[in-house]
């Protein structure tokens, strides 16, 4: 409260000054310098110091005393409650958008914006983007590799329909052949592989013929077909099985096998000398155990008995040689042994986990194979998986050899046993044990 409280002084009658000239109110005294802030100046009032009818005069009232503190009152307050001050806060700034430049700090400072004005860290977002990129690469690389390998296959029309063709049989049947073709080989490579001159061969021939039956359930059956088998060839007559390949190529060979076995061939694959040796070399060679020593200058090999490591040219000579006591029968057994060792090495964990070995192997195999127009790289993958699993390796039940005019020494099938043998495969049943030949 400003000013003095009149209740602290004696009651006096305030009379206005008379009109006209009269005593002037003196100016309020000035506070001398150095006085404290609690000093209270006396108040000048006009009162009558003399008799009641005496003149009025200015006089000084005693100095005012400070007011006592207010007394606490009982009951509800009669004034508004005390309000606590709330600090002023600004609304948080909107989150920065992509491309925004953060504000620069004051000159002379660190150059960084305050923490509340910095954009949120994008570390988690960057990790998510990198993870997405890695997943795309992991998916795109195998898909791209499969497409590239599938386009690398050399496709030829083999499995064409013809009059009297065998209908669809149970399971999946592959016909695999190894050709003595020298296509793509230089003179030095022919000498290294001991393939001889193509002109001496009298046309393209097949040194290896295998029928692979993949059952819907049960083991896969690998049947070696002797190339000297005396069978009926459509349009030619009875002759050696190899003659069908030499006269009509893969297409006539498939028709001859279907006619002789009663099985519907679903897929076909052929590999030449160069691709065969290159496939083995891409794996770094294979390990094989030979029951007896083999010395065959025509095949270019001189291998001792026992377990040993074979290179590409040595493996090729091993599956081609007939310098053994049983000639073609031993060669078919060697071919099955080689195929087992090759698949074991190709599907091993060390090969599958090493892209520097797996990719050259797959690339070389796809480039050296000839397949039917309807075959793809994934069909070959299913074949490899089936051969890697449980298999039964055997050959056609034979009755012996015979000299035939115009054909030379031929191999005769046991008609009764061979009929039951192929009937079991056509019905997708296991071949009876008494019909299996080791």
Q: Please report the pLDDT score of residue 200 as a whole number.
A: 47
Which one-letter DSSP state was computed for residue 194? T
pLDDT for residue 172 is more than 90: yes
By C-alpha distance, which of 157, 154, 209 is closest to 184? Answer: 154
Q: Is residue 53 assigned to a domain?
A: no
CATH number at residue 184: 3.40.630.190
Q: Is residue 87 assigned to a domain?
A: no
Q: Please report the pLDDT score of residue 261 as a whole number.
A: 94
- Number of structural domains the chain divides into: 1
Please tell me the pTM assigned to this model: 0.65
Q: Is residue 174 assigned to a domain?
A: yes
Q: Which two tokens stand for residue 52?
A: 């009641």
Burial 58-71 (b: 16+ CB within 10 A, else e): eeebeebeeeeeee
Q: How confident is the model at residue 101 (pLDDT cuts 50, 70, 90)?
A: low
How confident is the model over 32-76, as pLDDT tens digits?
Answer: 555 555 554 555 555 555 565 666 555 555 555 666 666 666 666
By C-alpha distance, which of 214, 217, 231 is closest to 265? Answer: 214
What range defines the domain where residue 206 resides?
Answer: 155-435
Q: Is residue 346 assigned to a domain?
A: yes
Q: Is residue 124 assigned to a domain?
A: no
Q: Please report the pLDDT score of residue 427 as a whole number.
A: 93
Q: How confident is the model at residue 1 (pLDDT cuts 50, 70, 90)?
A: very low
Residues near 235 by beta carbon (within 8 Å), at least 6 away in sequence: 248, 252
How confident is the model over 325-345, as pLDDT tens digits?
Answer: 777 778 888 888 888 888 888
Helix 312-320, helix 273-282: angle, nearest 10: 130
Q: Is residue 123 assigned to a domain?
A: no
Answer positive or negative: Cα dihedral of 117, 123, 128, 133.
positive
By C-alpha distance, which of 332, 339, 340 is closest to 437? Answer: 332
How confident is the model over 3-20, as pLDDT tens digits?
Answer: 555 555 555 555 555 555
- CA 89 and chain centroid, separation: 52
Distance CA(289)–CA(287), nearest Å, equals 7
The answer to whether 255 and 366 have CB atoms below 8 angstroms apart is no
By C-alpha distance, which of 346, 338, 343 is closest to 314? Answer: 338
Which one-letter DSSP state was computed for residue 292? S
Q: Mean pLDDT over all residues of the chain?
A: 77
Q: Is residue 147 assigned to a domain?
A: no
């Amino acid at each position: 409260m400003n000013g003095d409280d009149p209740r602290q002084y004696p009651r006096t009658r305030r009379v206005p000054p008379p009109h006209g000239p009269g005593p002037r109110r003196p100016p309020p005294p000035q506070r001398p310098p150095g006085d404290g802030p609690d000093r209270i100046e006396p108040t000048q009032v006009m009162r009558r110091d003399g008799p009641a009818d005496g003149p009025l005069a200015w006089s000084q009232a005693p100095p005012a005393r400070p007011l006592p503190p207010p007394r606490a009152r009982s009951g509800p307050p009669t004034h508004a409650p005390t309000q606590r001050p709330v600090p002023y806060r600004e609304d948080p700034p909107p989150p920065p958008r992509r491309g925004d430049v953060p504000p620069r700090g004051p000159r002379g400072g660190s150059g960084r914006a305050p923490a509340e004005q910095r954009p949120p860290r994008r570390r988690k977002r960057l990790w998510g983007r990198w993870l997405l990129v890695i997943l795309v690469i992991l998916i795109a690389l195998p898909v791209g590799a499969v497409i590239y390998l599938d386009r690398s296959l050399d496709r030829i029309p083999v499995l064409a329909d013809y009059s009297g063709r065998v209908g669809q049989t149970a399971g999946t049947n592959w016909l695999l052949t190894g050709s003595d073709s020298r296509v793509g080989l230089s003179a030095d490579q022919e000498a290294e592989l001991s393939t001889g001159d193509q002109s001496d061969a009298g046309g393209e021939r097949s040194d290896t013929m295998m029928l692979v039956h993949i059952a819907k359930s049960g083991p896969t059956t690998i049947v070696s077909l002797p190339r000297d088998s005396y069978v009926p060839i459509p349009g030619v007559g009875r002759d050696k099985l190899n003659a069908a390949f030499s006269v009509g190529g893969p297409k006539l060979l498939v028709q001859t096998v279907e006619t002789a076995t009663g099985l519907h061939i679903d897929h076909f694959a052929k590999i030449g000398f160069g691709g065969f040796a290159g496939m083995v070399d891409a794996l770094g060679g294979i390990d094989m155990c030979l029951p007896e020593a083999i010395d065959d200058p025509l095949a270019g090999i001189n291998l001792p008995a026992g377990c040993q490591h074979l290179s590409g040219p040595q493996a090729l000579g091993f599956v081609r040689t007939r310098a053994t006591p049983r000639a073609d029968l031993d060669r078919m057994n060697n071919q099955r042994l080689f195929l087992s060792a090759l698949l074991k090495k190709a599907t091993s964990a060390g090969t599958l986990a090493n892209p520097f070995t797996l990719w050259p192997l797959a690339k070389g195999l796809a480039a050296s194979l000839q397949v039917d127009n309807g075959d793809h790289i994934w069909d070959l993958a299913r074949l490899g998986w089936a051969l890697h699993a449980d298999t039964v390796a055997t050959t056609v039940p034979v009755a012996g050899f015979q000299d035939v005019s115009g054909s030379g020494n031929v191999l005769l099938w046991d008609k009764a046993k061979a009929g039951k043998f192929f009937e079991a495969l056509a019905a997708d049943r296991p071949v009876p044990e008494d019909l299996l030949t080791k």
